[in-house]
Amino acid sequence: MTRNRSIMQYVKRLCLVICMSLIQPNLGIRVFADQDLFIDQAELLEMESRMLYFFDQLHEISVQISQYTPEELKKASLQVTALEAKWNVYYQSKENEIANDDSLLQIVANFQLAEQALRDSIAYKEKFFEAHDNFDRAEAFILAQDTVYEELYNKALEYSFVQKLSAQLEQVKGKEQLVFADIQSYYDGAKTVAQEFTDLSARFLSMEEKYIVLKNTSEKIQALEYKPWVQRIKDYLYSFAAVAMILMFLNMLQAKWKAFKQARENAKKYGQLLNKKDEDDYPVI
């Protein structure tokens, strides 16, 4: 359609120039040349305006990226894809004209840079949303395991009192291992996310505290086994004796440290006394 219109306009101008050349030959040739120059400049301005329109649309999407929700970000990505397709069609139709004009080539370069920057921003924002969603799932799962682990520990402890329930105890241990495997997986993923996105650091510390508690409970469950009552009493006494020995050792260290501090203080005072005596011991005339 555009090409046919251009041909019709060209024919009209040609007819006009022919008529004018019949009246005044030199005037018709000059008018024809001036009109061609004017049309070339007008076409370049139209192309520049069209290309800048694409660039402005790209800029409008770019300045709003930080405020987009996940759904809005998906729409923005589709808009960029559609805009890129329109740009490519227009650029290919005007490639020869653009190649001969420096200002148009500069617009092409700016558009390509802006498009790549916008694509990178969208990719980062998508990664941001995905990482935060994964962190939220990990946090919810880990923080919800208190009741689960309380039940697992109570069952395992109950089964450990009866030798005939050893098989049930092993089943509880196996179930606990599967649960903790999920906990470990969620924890590792959340740790990676928190290291990359520092705004999640505070939440990760709370999650880590809960993870340590669950890990300790997991180790207790896996350590449970059937023992006769006599052996349980012995283990308790041994553990009590071990604690008592540790406390006694710490008390001994504390007493030695106090004695050392007192001896050092006494030596300091004695040194000061000797210095004072030397100062007062003047010869008597």
Per residue in 83-134, pLDDT tens?
999 999 999 988 888 888 888 999 999 999 999 999 999 999 999 999 999 9
Distance of alpha carbon 104 from alpha carbon 97, whole angstroms: 9
**Cα–Cα nearest to 211, from 227, 225, 194:** 194
The first and second tokens of residue 284, run together, are: 């008597």
In contact, 172 and 226? CB cutoff 8 Å: no
Q: pLDDT digits over 32-90, tens only?
A: 444 444 457 778 888 888 999 999 999 999 998 888 999 999 999 999 999 999 999 99
Question: How far apart (Å, rounded) are the C-alpha atoms in residues 46 and 171?
Answer: 78
d(CA 133, CA 85): 32
Task: Kindly state the tokens that stand for 142.
Answer: 């880990």
Query: Which residues, in sequence order, are CB contacts of 207 under 8 Å at separation 6+?
Result: 138, 139, 142, 143, 187, 190
Least confident of 11-20, 98-107, 139-148, 206-215: 11-20
Helices (H) and strands (E) in the chain, counts: 9, 0
Instruction: Give pLDDT tens digits for 227-275.
Output: 665 555 655 565 555 555 666 666 776 777 777 777 777 777 766 666 6
Exposure of 274 by Cβ count < 10 A (0-12 exposed, 13-18 middle, 19+ buried)?
Answer: exposed
Tokens of 33: 């040349």
Q: b/e string for 79-110 if b means 16 or more Cβ within 10 A?
A: ebeebbeebeebeeebeeebeeeeebeebbee
Full-model pTM: 0.62
